[in-house]
Chains A and B, each alone.
Chain A
Amino acid sequence: MTELFFIAGLPLAGVAINYLVKNRLVQFSVSLVIAILHLAVSYAIFTGMVRPEENEFIRYDALSRLFLLVLSHVYFWVVLVSYSYLNRPALVNEEKSKLLYFMMLNLYLFANTLALISNHLGLFWVASEATTLSVAPLVYYYRDEESLEAMWKYLFLVSVGIAFAFIGFLFLSLSASGTVLSGHQLLISSYSHYATHLNPIWLKASFIFVFVGLSTKIGIAPMHPGDIDATSNAPSPAAALMSGSLRGTALLGLLRVYQIMIPTATADFARTIMIIGGMFSLFVAFVFMFKVVNYKRMLAYSSVEHLGLITLGIGTGGIAFVGAMLHVVYNSLTKVVLFLNAGNIHRTYRSRDVTSVWDVLNTMPWTGWLFLFGFFAIIAMPPFGIFFSELLIFQGLMTKPLLLAAVLFFLFFIFVGMSKTVFQMLYTAPPKNHKPLAVEKFDIVHAASFTLLLLLIVLGLFMPAQLYDTVIQISKDFGITL
């Protein structure tokens, strides 16, 4: 149980410590130590150096290990830059929020970890609702009208969504009545073991409810608006967390229900629904990419696009499933780079409006270039990782040529719309008689972004054997033979 202490016990202790201690440096140091230990232990679990103890409620299969590593990776970088982020001059009345900041981060880590390793769907539900609760105060960080509205909408929409997911889980337990599983707990492992006994009607109903409910959190259209508002109004580190790992946690819940359905005849039904959801998300991202004037909302729509692509890959199956799993990793890391640098731009120009941002490359060279390369990474330019994962998804889609054509069409125009916005920010000449902005200094955010971009290239070009093996193992768990 030692590993459980490190990945779940310590963050919980971190919540308490951060509640009691008000000194920001102490809060930061404690949180950073917890983040480093979490990263070390989840890396050890991922590589198999540590064989964690499993029981009825907790399980570390390949899927959990991969998502856990992504979570602690994203979390580590976010905590690392948080101190410098909080020490900048305040934009509005955010001083009160700063006291809560690290406490909520630790709660976030605890809740997400618990959700990722839970083998009991009820436990997953409780933990994922707790992730919403930990994020809501972070969304309200700036304490202005927009963030208040964003927090309300996120809290309400996601809570109702999660309630729907709970109905789905109850349907799942209803599908077991009259079988060997009747009266048993909602354990993912035993349900997927006896999946063929389950009642297909309730199984289908369960999947629909879970899909619709968790979509609010994953950000699959048409349930995405709350997510967009929250991600774009949250402070950048929190936005990076939400885009980088929170959506993944919700996706894991969907994958778990899908995993149960795989051996049954209802698997095709689930796949069709996921393909529809994925395509619709791409469509929504395609439409709104031309409409957004707020660059953080643009990044949020890009998350809708990529999560849509991942859902599409999972629904397509085969090699596309492998691509989707890799895409989860790459997309998370890229989103951290983009959101952190977008935060820098927001600080300097004091606006999220594209038209009030100009000439970033010259005024903020570090941020500008890193943002540009982050943009290259997210639109799947080689040699960044996303290029390879998208290639795998396309390869899987080869069997459905019409779908592939539609996907490529959407992706191309998303690329056009996004690059229009990004290049406008980076290259527009400064307006006449503007006040000169302060020269930018090298910051820890830049160091983190640089490392992450490097990591994305390395992961893309030389895929580590462990990552490859884990992804292949996940595919096997999902009944995919390559």
Chain B
Amino acid sequence: MENVLSILFCLTLLYLVVTSRIKTYVSILRMQGVLLSVIMIFPFIDHLSVHILIIPVMSFIIKTIVIPRFIDKIVIELDVKRIVEPSIQPFNFLLLTVASLSAIFVASHVLSGFTPIEPIPFASAFSAMITGIYLIIFRKKLIVHVVGFLILENGIFLFGTSVAAEMPTLVELGAMLDVFVVVFLMGIAINKISSTFAKQDVSVLGRLKD
């Protein structure tokens, strides 16, 4: 079941690559938030307790409700043009992503031969990290960079819950809070950038250099 959910998670990434509307980006973030929460609860489905539910519920609240709402709010407030501006042809972008994803899946299959990892969740998590980074590299809008960062974080989150050892509750909560505050600060910064400069994309950030 975990594998199915991970594959679903991977499919959201492909959707992310082909779409070009910021609104869709936000709904993809929501979908991933739900998927992550379910993936987290799944191993404990037989013996649920309040203690186990803290992290999935918090992650649901932050990743599915609070952050997407916040991004929606920025998009509306700043009247960001809803279409993202790619700096690469959409088809090439899809091609690049599919190629990278296939490479990751093959590589993790090979890796699983001699190290104890579960290939599908591992590959899905890594695909999310790579897609997040691609999004940061190949899109010009700053708000899309924030979405890219969140996708990267989602990938790490999936990696942490399904592959690596568990962290203590306090640390996980702290990590989630940190990510939330980072996004919050980035939102404020984008707000300031749009009131200081005419645009909100990377082209305005070229003053500091040697």
Chain A interfacial positions (CB closer than 8 Å to B): 120, 122-123, 125-126, 129-130, 132-133, 136-137, 140, 145-146, 148-153, 155-156, 159-160, 163, 166-167, 170-171, 173-174, 176-178, 182-186, 199, 201-202, 229, 232-233, 288, 291-294, 297
Contact = CB atoms under 8 A, between A and B. Distances in A.
A176 B117 CA distance: 11
A122 B152 contact: no
A172 to B, nearest CB: 8
A422 B182 CA distance: 37
Given A148-B193, A150-B208, A170 B159 contact: yes
B163 A129 contact: no
Nearest to A122: B171
B210 A155 contact: no
Nearest to B208: A229
B145 A156 contact: yes
B175 A155 contact: no
B196 interface: yes
Contacts of A150: 208
Nearest to A128: B178
Interface in B70-86: none
A202 B115 CA distance: 9
Contacts of A176: 165
B113 interface: no
A292 B159 contact: no
B149 interface: yes
Given A185-B167, A185-B168, A126 B178 contact: yes
Contacts of A155: 182, 185-186, 189
Best-buried of B152, B172, B185, B210 by chain A (most CB within 10 Å): B210
A451 B149 CA distance: 44
B192 interface: yes
B61 interface: no
Interface string B153-186: 1001001100111011001101100100110011
A125 B170 CA distance: 12
B208 A129 contact: no
A359 to B, nearest CB: 25
A170 B162 CA distance: 11
Best-buried of B159, B172, B197, B208 by chain A (most CB within 10 Å): B208
Contacts of A199: 115
B171 A126 contact: yes
Given A125-B175, A133-B182, A173-B164, A152 B210 contact: no
Q: Which 8 A-B pairs have the closest CB atoms?
A: A126-B174, A122-B171, A129-B178, A170-B164, A173-B165, A173-B164, A122-B167, A229-B208
B165 A178 contact: no
B129 interface: yes
A176 B164 CA distance: 9
Contacts of B182: 129, 132-133, 155, 159
A15 B9 CA distance: 39
Nearest to B195: A148
B207 interface: yes
A184 B168 CA distance: 10
Nearest to B181: A133
Contacts of A184: 165
A170 B121 CA distance: 14
B36 interface: no
B167 A186 contact: yes
A166 B208 CA distance: 28
Contacts of A177: 115-117, 165
A151 B189 contact: yes
Interface in B193-210: 193, 196-197, 204-205, 207-208, 210
A201 B117 CA distance: 13
A150 B168 CA distance: 34
B55 to A, nearest CB: 13
B136 interface: yes
Given A129-B178, A163-B156, A202-B115, A233 B193 contact: no
A152 B189 contact: yes
Given A150-B208, A156-B186, A167-B156, 4 more contacts: A122-B172, A129-B182, A149-B207, A167-B159
B67 interface: no
A261 to B, nearest CB: 17
A367 B129 CA distance: 48
B142 interface: yes
A137 B181 CA distance: 12
Contact of B152 (A153, A163, A173, A202): A163
A297 B189 contact: no
16 contacts: A123-B171, A126-B171, A130-B178, A150-B208, A160-B136, A160-B152, A163-B149, A163-B152, A170-B156, A170-B160, A171-B164, A173-B164, A176-B165, A178-B116, A185-B167, A229-B208
Nearest to B165: A173
B189 A126 contact: no
Nearest to B186: A155
A145 B207 contact: yes
Interface string B83-97: 000000000000000
Contacts of B172: 122
Contacts of A153: 205, 208
A351 B128 CA distance: 44
Best-buried of A177, A293, A294 by chain B (most CB within 10 Å): A177
B210 A133 contact: no
A293 B117 CA distance: 51
B165 A186 contact: yes
Nearest to A151: B189
A439 B2 CA distance: 72
Contact of B156 (A123, A166, A288): A166
A126 B175 contact: yes
Nearest to B175: A126
Contacts of A202: 115
Contacts of B168: 120, 122, 185
Contacts of A133: 178, 181-182, 185
B185 to A, nearest CB: 6
Given A133-B182, A133-B185, A160-B149, A170 B163 contact: yes
Best-buried of A133, A149, A178, A202 by chain B (most CB within 10 Å): A149
Contacts of B208: 146, 149-150, 153, 229, 232-233
